[in-house]
Structure 1
Amino acid sequence: MEKEKKEKKEKAETVPKNDGMWLLKSIFSKKSNTDGDADSNVKSSPDQNPPFPFLSAHANAVVSLCSKTLGISTNALQEQFDLELPDNLKQPDSHARNFLEFCSYKALGLAITQPNYLNDKEFRRLTFDMMIAWEVPGVASDQIDKVDDKKTVGPEAFARIAPACPVIADITTVHNLFDVLTSSSGPRLHFLVYDKYLRSLEKIIKFVQNAVGPQVISNLSLAEDEIIIDIDGTVPTQPVLQHIGMSAWPGRLTLTNHALYFESGVGLYDKAVRYDLAKEMKQVIKPELTGPLGARLFDKAVMYKSTSIAEPVYLEFPEFKGSSRRDYWLDICLEIHRAHKFTRKYNMKGNQLSEALARAILGIFRFRAVREAFRVSSSNYKTLLCFNLAESLPGGDMIMQTLSSRLTLISPTAGQQEILSSPNANRKHVLPAALMTLITLKIVPSKEGELNGEATYQGVDVCVGESNPLEAVVKQLKLDTGMAEAAQATVDQVKVEGIDTNLAVMKELLFPLIETYNRLQRLISWDDPFKSTMFVLFTSYLIYTDWIKYALPSIFVFLALVMLWRRYTWNKRQLGAFKIVAPPSKNAVEQLLTLQEAITQAESLIQSGNIILLKTRALLYAVAPQATVKLSIVLVLTGTVIAVLPLKYLMLLVFVESFTMNMPLRKETSERGLRRIREWWVRIPAAPVELVKPDDKKRK
């Protein structure tokens, strides 16, 4: 029985390696519909095998296309599905969709081994048809959503099919990519938009393939495994300016998977200066202001600083309006830097390191394709770059931990013999799909004995009927991000303008604390001797009996009980707006005067603090000998009392002394004692201060 099953499996897995794209083209040899409707593919390729009764008409057509792409019958595909997948993926409620995913992943695994598959219109249509069929796999759900009589795709279908082609989407950013592509068409993706994205992506790939020339190699001195990702500054009207100190030079900027290179000049370039992004040199990469002669005028530059250079370097990207050029270069430089930081943190070597960098490179390609095709840039949470997303997303470190656990399953020295074609095979190692994609696209050279793109393979991030751990983490963080964004929206709504208005809001919000402080002041002033006496006796009793240590915990428990009571009794009520009486409106000049007064008061407080510190320094260094002797005696006596008396008696002594200073019996004596202390403090000189001007070598 086992022998028969093995022979059956071997027969089902007979897949031609080199004829996949020829078969795909032969399927679509008929004239296709030119109105942009992706359904033209499935109508022009009737299957010779009978359709499966559990699949919808569209899903049957897609399965037929997959079988012809693979060069095997649909029955053979079903046999492979039955043999390779566990029984829990064959339940009636999910059987149709899982079978469709199996066939789609198999066909895409073969199709993407061809070097120019992005340029093939039939391939682009097939992937879109797979997404449409994913939404309506069974006969009970054979209703396709249409917009303007054109079939469209939803986010879940896109997220399940697109990552099977690593160059098209990454599992960590696939939902962000869908949001960008559908920003102008609502929650559904049109084929025309999807096709435009892939055509733009194909142009980016061609640019990178042709970026390396003899002059570039001689100027940059690239390492063997170094790949050029993007170049800017080659057009005279759009230069890149390098600022160091007060000097600036135009030139050409090149980003590789290891460093930034700047070549000064226009047309003819000098030897490149290298700014490393890979090694640990405490690099700082951030947006910065630049201008002529060191002036900070234009927010269009990226600052690079590391321990390998003496002073920061500013790379300016001039443009008439906005700073999209600068933002793009800032994002892609940070992506490469953070990818290397990730590999160092988890000590990755070999194919594991190459796969992490390949993910970053493919993410940059996608980001650039979207930017050039649709003129959009990434926001904080909608970035298309994996490592930047993990840095900016709340809880993004969980993405990096999950990704590292996935990459550790990649054999550091995997060879061709370890490549498997099954999308759900039980294997010890997973495959470096992003790296193999770069090899297939001839961006990374394939070395003898190492991975190459000549075999059918499946992406690391897709698995029939199962959710990738990365996908689960990203979905959870996306929910948390939605809550954070909603909370931030409420923060933006309650922000008010004007110093006096903000002070009024703060005063009202702190009213309970202010009122508590005022009542304590009245008790300390002994305006009502009875209340003050009772308060002193009650607090003294709590200190003496050690009950005072439960005061703070009791406050915390009381607050917790109040919040829980509000939670379960007011859960259906809306929190009313906090009403605040607005102060009289002030014009711009009055607000400036208010600000000046506040700054003057803050300066006065800082001056008072400095005087206290300087007089303390004078006492420590015995500038006033008599005062120093008296303070030393007081410190010795105080230290002795603290060492001898138990803590509760010490607390009781301090409390009674401070709280009874203004009682009628002690008020005159206390005022006299405080006056003597102030007079003693006034007679202490401040330690001298000398201001030295810095020697500004740059300006000289």
Structure 2
Amino acid sequence: MSRTQNFWNEVTFPLAKPGQSRKPDTENDCGFQVMEDIFMIEQTMDRRTPCGVLSLAVVICIEQFSRMNGLTGKKMQKIFEALVPESVYNDARNLVEYCCFRFLSRDGSDIHPSLQDPAFQRLIFITMLAWENPYTNDLSSNSEKASLQNKLVTEEAFVRLAPAISGVVDRPTVHNLFKALAGDQEGISVSSWLNYINEFVKVRQKLISYQIPEFPQLSEERILCIGSNSKRPVLKWENNMAWPGKLTLTDKAIYFEAVGILAEKRAMRLDLTHDGLQVEKAKVGPLGSALFDSAVSVSSGSELNRWVLEFIDLGGEMRRDVWHAFINEVIALHRFIREYGPDDSDESLFNVYGARKGKDRATTTAINGIARLQVLQYLRKLLDDPTKLVQFSYLQNAPHGDIVLQTLAVNYWGGPLVTGFVNTRNQPETRPSDEIADSRNHVFDIDGSVYLQKWMKSPSWGSSISTSFWKNISVKGLILSKNLVVADLSLIERAAKTSKHKYHIVEKTQATIDAATLQGIPSNIDLFKELVFPFTLIVKNFEKLRHWEEPHLTVAFLGLTFTIIYRGKVVKRQNGWVL
């Protein structure tokens, strides 16, 4: 216990800023004491296993999550051993997943409520470290006592565990979020992780508190972002004129409130739910010139319905790029709902339990993605293309992105099939039609949730890739929910992994082509010069003859030519005539 206490005293020590000592100040004493109390927990499990000695991080992770599940680490071990084969049980990573996923599966909210708890934030970080290095070489190894601020979570651990916590990251974009948070480092530090989670919680709480009395219709919409700043205004260009104002983005539309010279306000609305909308980066300027590359154009194919919004940003173009990603994600969300979701008036929604909430689930996912993008913008950890950090926009152009979208649709709208219900008003019992009852052509999630065939409106369902994917969805791990599988992958994870693999292949192929093109140009030019050199020499000599640079050679050439033309002889040979 003393060794464990010393270890956690170090790893939970507040981070010191450059130039400061590591001694905690009075403001951090409370948080430090909370962390110390949380991790000072009795060890009930044996660290020695057939595969090696469990690291201290693994032991504390298992014990803590076991207590949160109402058990001890030793009891959790026994339960897990009884549920899975020996090969699965002997891998400490699987036990870490089971303890963590079992606790997370108890909550089905859009954002896990424990994310607001600083102790839980650090516990998740420790869990990722434990999953990455579950074993140690020596029980008394001093390397385990390294300070937490020197430890980094690698991509593999982050990709596996971070998406399991609702709200933290979407599985299709988890690799891109890792790159953004890690930056130039090989992994994510505890400071980056805590800053990201804390800012995300703040942004989501701020979105809930948004109230705009000027737009009463917003009571039925969810506000995502407001662009209004005296130092960084938003301009709407109309007829080569720029009007400053306040821009509000919701889950269904854009609102622009222009401010006139006399402070009069006129509100405009652009619906983002219709089909055919396009959002592009644009250049604007006075008199129709393309002087400033800081605008976004939103149109529906007609110039009359075209909005051009300029986002003033003296620090660069990232503000425009982020707003482009915001708007594009809302448009992509509704395109996804139209293509993969059932109509709101479809009565079959009542035949699948929870299907009526599918649209809200998809919308909430997009809202969380936009909130995360705002956090990364604030932390200055954006990628060159912010659309890679929001899943619906990213999947539009990702390899096999349509397969990932299919798994998302099954996840959002899928549920247990309702075989019938008793009406309390003495009406006949309602049962699904024969078409719905016939399950041969429906799609099923790993937990048995059904996605009806009549909802498969997208042409992508008929592709050979889609058929092959849905024929091979068997899971060998322990299923705790449709999103949490111990020792195996959920459907979304599997599809996202395939898409990522294809993306790497495309990247490597393109890099090979680019390298071959760039490296091959000099050698190709040299080869071409060698091939045309004899012809170049002939042309040069002919030009000398034509310009009488050497008269005697020119006279000789003309004489020879005259002789050949006018004194040609026909010689008869055995094989034919030769002129």
Q: Same fold (TM over 0.5)?
A: yes
Give the equivalent residue in structure 2 for 1:523.
none
Give the equivalent residue in structure 2 for 1:313.
307
| TM-score normalized with structure 2 length | 0.66
Name the CA shift for 1:41/1:171 in 2 (closer, same or farther; >3 Å).
Answer: farther
Q: Write the deviation string for residues 574-612 of structure 1: whole angstroms up to 9, x where unpaired.
A: xx95354688xxxxxxxxxxxxxxxxxxxxxxxxxxxxx
Give the equivalent residue in structure 2 for 1:303.
297
Give the equivalent residue in structure 2 for 1:117.
114
Give the equivalent residue in structure 1 for 2:284.
290
Contact 1:258 1:277 in 2 (8 A): yes
- Counterpart check, 1:394 vs 2:399: yes
Give the equivalent residue in structure 1 for 2:382.
376
Name the CA shift for 1:138/1:298 in 2 (closer, same or farther; >3 Å).
Answer: same
**Paired AA for residue 171 in structure 2:** I
**Structure 2 SS opposite 1:383:** helix
Mapped to 2, the partners of 1:201 and 1:342 lie a distance apart of 25
Shift in Å, 1:363? 1.2
Mapped to 2, the partners of 1:475 and 1:145 lie a distance apart of 34
Name the CA shift for 1:302/1:211 in 2 (closer, same or farther; >3 Å).
Answer: same
Name the CA shift for 1:158/1:146 in 2 (closer, same or farther; >3 Å).
Answer: farther
Mapped to 1, the partners of 2:239 and 2:313 lie a distance apart of 22
Give the equivalent residue in structure 2 for 1:156.
156
Name the CA shift for 1:107/1:116 in 2 (closer, same or farther; >3 Å).
Answer: closer
Give the equivalent residue in structure 2 for 1:468.
490
**Structure 2 SS opposite 1:126:** helix
Contact 1:346 1:404 in 2 (8 A): yes
Choose the corresponding residue for 1:485, options 493, 507, 516. Answer: 507
Shift in Å, 1:48? 5.5
Choose the corresponding residue for 1:33, options 5, 10, 13. Answer: 13
Mapped to 1, the partners of 2:125 and 2:138 lie a distance apart of 18
Mapped to 1, the partners of 2:368 and 2:14 lie a distance apart of 30
Contact 1:171 1:461 in 2 (8 A): no
Q: Write the deviation string for residues 639-695 of structure 1: whole angstroms up to 9, x where unpaired.
A: xxxxxxxxxxxxxxxxxxxxxxxxxxxxxxxxxxxxxxxxxxxxxxxxxxxxxxxxx
**Structure 1 SS opposite 2:486:** coil
Name the CA shift for 1:247/1:430 in 2 (closer, same or farther; >3 Å).
Answer: same
- Counterpart check, 1:257 vs 2:254: no
**Paired AA for residue 91 in structure 1:** S
Count of aligned positions: 433
Mapped to 2, the partners of 1:244 and 1:112 lie a distance apart of 46
Shift in Å, 1:244? 2.1
Choose the corresponding residue for 2:223, options 203, 224, 228. Answer: 228
Mapped to 2, the partners of 1:152 and 1:42 lie a distance apart of 24
Mapped to 1, the partners of 2:293 and 2:482 lie a distance apart of 40
Deviates more, 1:148-157 or 1:467-476: 148-157
Deviates more, 1:301-310 or 1:404-413: 404-413
Q: Write the deviation string for residues 180-219 of structure 1: whole angstroms up to 9, x where unpaired.
A: 1112212x2211111121122122123212222xxx1432
Mapped to 1, the partners of 2:162 and 2:209 lie a distance apart of 26
Choose the corresponding residue for 2:359, options 329, 340, 353. Answer: 353
Please list every run of 5 or more consecutive structure 1 residues that lacks an aligned counterpart in the other structure: 1-27, 414-424, 432-456, 506-575, 584-700
Contact 1:410 1:429 in 2 (8 A): yes
Mapped to 2, the partners of 1:265 and 1:81 lie a distance apart of 63
Please list every run of 5 or more consecutive structure 2 residues that lacks an aligned counterpart in the other structure: 1-7, 17-21, 23-31, 345-355, 419-444, 452-478, 530-579
Contact 2:446 2:482 in 1 (8 A): no
Mapped to 2, the partners of 1:412 and 1:244 lie a distance apart of 52
Give the equivalent residue in structure 2 for 1:134.
131
Give the equivalent residue in structure 1 for 2:99.
103
Mapped to 2, the partners of 1:174 and 1:145 lie a distance apart of 29
Mapped to 1, the partners of 2:230 and 2:101 lie a distance apart of 46
Give the equivalent residue in structure 2 for 1:209.
208
Shift in Å, 1:151? 2.2
Shift in Å, 1:490? 4.1
Mapped to 2, the partners of 1:157 and 1:219 lie a distance apart of 44
Shift in Å, 1:355? 1.3
**Paired AA for residue 192 in structure 2:** V
Select the structure that is richer in strand. 2
| TM-score normalized with structure 1 length | 0.55
Mapped to 2, the partners of 1:63 and 1:496 lie a distance apart of 53
- Counterpart check, 1:63 vs 2:62: yes
Contact 1:219 1:271 in 2 (8 A): no
Mapped to 1, the partners of 2:174 and 2:126 lie a distance apart of 18
Deviates more, 1:324-333 or 1:300-309: 300-309
Deviates more, 1:401-410 or 1:353-362: 401-410
Shift in Å, 1:492? 4.0
**Structure 2 SS opposite 1:301:** strand
Q: CA RMSD in A?
A: 3.9
